[in-house]
Structure 1
Amino acid sequence: MGRRFKLVFGISLLFLLLDSCRGSKVGVCYGRNADDIPTPDKVAQLVQLHNIKYVRMYDSNIQVLKAFANTGVELMIGVTNTDLLPFSQFQSNVDTWLKNSILPYYPATKITYITVGAEVTESPGNASALVVPAMQNVVTALKKVGLHKRIKVSSTHSLGVLSRSFPPSAGAFNSSHAFFLKPMLEFLAENQSPFMIDLYPYYAYRDSPNNVSLQYALFESSPEVIDPNTGLIYTNMFDAQIDSIYFALMALNFRTIKIMVTETGWPSKGSPKEKAATPDNAQTYNTNLIRHVINDSGTPAKPGEELDVYIFSLFNENRKPGLESERNWGLFYPDQTSVYNLDFTGKGAGDMITNANITSSNGTTWCIASSKASEMDLQNALDWACGPGNVDCSAIQPSQPCFEPDNLVSHASYAFNSYYEQNGATDVACSFGGTGVKVDKDPSYDNCLYMTAGGVNKTLASNTTAIASTSSSTQNEAFTWISNFILVTSLSFLLIVGNF
């Protein structure tokens, strides 16, 4: 019995350690405060096309839950502020909501987080006192169906929940919120849920440009900021804001609670007074943010600490009130084209793929599918290109010139190239969520002619596919191999120990 216990305990511990090495992740917020954005099913296709694996929504809309079924995308869903009262009053209200609005779609739709209330301290008619009771009722409902360990429950906050955020070591929660913050933090610690925060260095720069440099807000090189109390050096505002929350948590002796950034981003357009709201600055901020997060850089106070981040937002939302910038945080326009190029692998547009900028002697390039991409990603990208992408895919149908060879890489290559050439032959047009590769050799073969920017390429050439793997694929393969090696070695050791 003792041997068996040691073995089971050792295996459980090993899997826990491997899970803890998963690394930071980047998701996108899917706000729907607009009357011109695509339907949920098209949004789900777009998300898959761009290899976005994590999405935050602000309610539990059934059509959205249905659309993301069997996509593998992990969803964070929300209980709105208007639902806090009924959710906090009666357990039966929450049980019914879970039974009717969540369980019919789970686990086909991967729901991993439920946010109960959003920035309640900032909303009119402060409903802070209702948040923790509502959260407790949601956890109770999840426990009844055995999902409390698979779906974490928390609530989101603005940085306004702090009374001080600078220097970071002086970070402190606003005492006026203590009546609900303390029980909330106790809830988070007990349930191993993250403290969720919405951070916007853009606003800090916009509202105080004389005190905050644009470079500091954008993760660009800038004069270092030193915390006089700790001597820690900060090179960007994002880290300083995160650490102010860490210190605020530590001041209340909540050292085990992790932080998750549920909103951050930069607008691409603003009013005349919002001169920093430009596509270039938005691309710079989000690109640098992704690199910073994916590399598990951590912060000066917590180097190497994992930090999950959600970028706001998937689309520009034309019904949002306020200044012009409020309606221009999107990564995509309503027609699903990109507002600017953004690489979710963290390598940047120029480093997305080997051979990305190689051109032929006459400057012609083509876009083909990477053989390293997964079948699911390629299929999603192909479906999008032949659907919302408006590519004429008749040539890859049975008995047509490009049907043979009848495989996914070949068919996707033809569709990718057609979309690429029809949309300006830009890096963005060959992205396809990292599954597209630019090459300088004509992929045309036999009677299958690949289009060029000037129309159809009439040169017949061998079907040479210069496919290159991305560094992220290599890293993922290496991590998988190392994980498996550790697993086998450790299990072998545990089996030996168990025999003594």
Structure 2
Amino acid sequence: MGSGGFVQLVFICFQLFLFLGTCRGGKIGICYGRNADDLPPPEKAVQLIQLHNIKYVRIYDSNIQLLKAFANTNIELIIAIPNSDLLPFSQFQTNADTWLKNTLLPYYPATKVTHITVGAEVTEAPNNVSSLVVPAMQNIFTALRKAALHRKIKVSSTHSLGVMSRSFPPSAGAFDSKHAFFLKPMLEFLAEHNSPFMVNLYPYYAYRDSTSNVSLDYALFESSSEVIDPNTGLLYTNMFDAQIDAINFALTALNFRTVEIMVTETGWPTKGSPKETAATPDNAQTYNTNLIRHVINNTGTPAKPGEEIDTYIFSLFNENRKPGLESERNWGLFFPDQTSVYNLDFTGRSGGGAVDTTAGGNFTGGLNNGTWCVASNNASESDLRNGLDWACGPGNVDCSAIQPSQPCFEPDSLASHASYAFNSYYQQNGATDIACTFGGAGFRTNKNPSYDNCMYMVFGTNKTAAANATISPSKSSSCVKAISIWIAVGCLLIGSSAFL
């Protein structure tokens, strides 16, 4: 092979390896609804979100106080135009222009808005506003284009499965023809502008309303058996995938196969009315833990294996003002006082602790004095500061010992003070893996970090902590594996041809 051929081979293979950078796992986010009493102020809620290393958030309006609170956090935000505002936004371009100028532009890009949802589940709304959605989307897009943001901020709308006339078997998935008058132009808009089809999926309701046909394990990603689609032979082990693929087939039937799906709501309630026996903290923890692993692994669906599906869990807080059955008010991961309804690891690495429904709940690993939680050497200064501020604030840790002239003030360093606060929170909350997360800034150790007169808290009896779950998924394993094979084969073929 000549030197020119060798250089060409190296260059082409290098370009192929760059494709590895395009691989990413599906994103897991949280829905931040505020239809509740006694919620913490937005600044505290954002600290809670950061503590749990959540990078993607959906809100249901464009409240200025919220936009300010998310500034400089690097959290990607979905904001919304509610149904009640669709009429003015659909009628006049100037309304969209003014809204963008006064509401979003003053805080962008410090507040990292990535999507705007125009209307929410309009087919379920009591007022017939469906015809207003696409004109409003177009006006919002035009306003973004004028500001040169139309490629950075995507415009879409959210839907329920009510837009479907059939969803089982998945291959028979079809949109309801009565919604075609607005769905078809909407899908054309999404395809033209590379925006996602946003849908709210709730396997909980599929199970609750049809327990004779849907097993609980199937709804919770726990099924050991498979449901076969008789038309395609595809095998389904969970309801989430079946619902996604019903939409995939419906999109394909209308020749919109390139439109990606984003799940803007899913989750499981922790409490329900007497007949809602599946609404428990255990089931909620199981569903969301399995969901997170499924999404960040890029498992995809039987019809689209390896496909990344960005997904938002509903919701951050319980919302006591919501009408309807008891379950409607109990989807939150946190109570308004910011204590956990149950433990959930957003990294997907741990199995999650046992449910903590009270201040003195039981946790995986038990309460033990064999481990401590300290600041990680790899944590950034901002992560340490966020964790320290949260622990000494919403985390209810007594941080008086790290104040000037107190026994743990010296050494006067952020890492030392954070270590003391992290450990106090960790011990007060059961010494579990999740209680030492702090957005990745915490680190568990079996070496007592106490020194001089600074005594680190130890709580409970000397029980052995439960081992960490062995699962350690790659966020883009399917993508990386596929492209790596492609690179190897491609470079081999290129190399072979270079010798000819």
For normalisation by structure 2, the TM-score amounts to 0.85
Quick check: 2:25–2:475 contact (8 Å CA) kept in 1? no
Residue of structure 1 equivalent to 2:359: none
Are residues 1:421 and 2:424 paired?
no
Instruction: Output the CA distance in 2 between the equivalents of 1:116 and 1:261.
Output: 15
Q: Which amino acid aligns with 1:249?
A: L
SS in 2 for 1:256: coil
Aligned to 1:183: 185
Which residue is 2:336 aligned to? 334
1:91-113 CA-partner distances (Å, limit 9, x unpaired): 00010000111101111110000
Q: TM-score, normalised by structure 1?
A: 0.85
How far off its partner does 1:446 sit?
1.9
- In the alignment of these two chains, the number of paired residues is 459
Out of 369, 372, 375, the residue aligned to residue 369 of structure 1 is 375
Q: Kindly tell me: are residues 19 and 179 of structure 1, through their superposed partners in 2, closer, same or farther at Cα, counting changes over 3 Å?
A: farther
**Corresponding residue for 2:445?**
439
1:39 corresponding residue in structure 2 = 41
- Alignment match of 1:410 (pick from 416, 420, 438): 416
Cα deviation, residue 399, structure 1: 4.4
Separation in 2, partners of 1:405, 1:315? 37
Select between 35-44 and 51-60 the one with higher mean Cα deviation. Answer: 35-44
Q: Aligned to 1:263, what secondary structure does the other structure show?
A: strand
Of 284, 309, 321 in structure 1, the residue corresponding to residue 323 of structure 2 is: 321
Q: Which residue pairs with 2:250 in the alignment?
A: 248
The structure 1 residue matched to 2:399, chosen from 393, 402, 405, is 393
| Contact residue 197 and residue 262 of structure 1 kept, 8 A | yes
8 A contact 2:36–2:320 mirrored in 1: yes
Q: Does 1:379 align with 2:385?
A: yes
Q: How is 1:195-274 mapped onto 2 (pairs within 5 angstroms)?
A: 195-274=197-276
CA distance in structure 1 between the aligned counterparts of 2:471 and 2:231, rounded to whole angstroms: 40
For the pair 1:159 / 2:165, whether they are aligned, the reply is no
Bigger RCO of structures 1 and 2 (CA < 8 A, at least 6 apart): 2
CA distance in structure 2 between the aligned counterparts of 1:210 and 1:471, rounded to whole angstroms? 33
The 3 A distance-change label for structure 1 pair 472 and 138 is: farther
Which structure 2 segments of 5+ residues have no match? 1-11, 354-362, 462-467, 484-500
Give secondary structure in 2 for the equivalent of 1:452. coil
In the alignment, the residues of structure 1 paired with residue 432 and residue 271 of structure 2 have an alpha-carbon distance, to the nearest angstrom, of 22
Is 1:115 the counterpart of 2:117? The answer is: yes
Structure 1 residues 15 and 333: CA distance shift in structure 2, 3 A: farther
- Return the alpha-carbon distance in structure 2 between the equivalents of residues 253 and 16 of structure 1: 31
* 1-structure distance, mates of 2:384, 2:223: 37
Using a 3 Å threshold, how does the CA distance of structure 1 residues 89 and 273 change in structure 2: closer, same or farther?
same
Q: SS in structure 2 opposite 1:284?
A: helix
Taking the TM superposition and a 5 Å limit, the aligned residue runs for 1:57-136 are 57-136=59-138
RMSD: 3.2
What is the SS of the residue equivalent to 2:124?
coil
The separation in 2 between residues aligned to 1:363 and 1:357, in whole angstroms, is 14
Compute the displacement of 1:442 (Å). Answer: 1.3
Corresponding position of 1:461: none
Return the alpha-carbon distance in structure 2 between the equivalents of residues 136 and 475 of structure 1. Answer: 34
The answer to whether the Cα contact below 8 Å between 1:51 and 1:377 also exists between their aligned partners in 2 is no
Give the Cα separation in 2 of the matches to 1:238 and 1:369: 37
Cα contact 1:345–1:472 (8 A) shared by 2: no
Q: Which residue of 2 aligns with 1:276?
A: 278
* 2:349 counterpart residue number: 347
Where 1:383 maps in the other structure, the secondary structure is helix
Deviation per CA, 1:170-226: give whole Å up to 9, x if none.
000000000111100000000000000000000000000000000000000232100
Match of 1:48 in 2: 50
Cα displacement (A) at 1:405: 3.5
Aligned to 1:192: 194
Gaps of 5+ in 1: 1-9, 456-467, 484-500
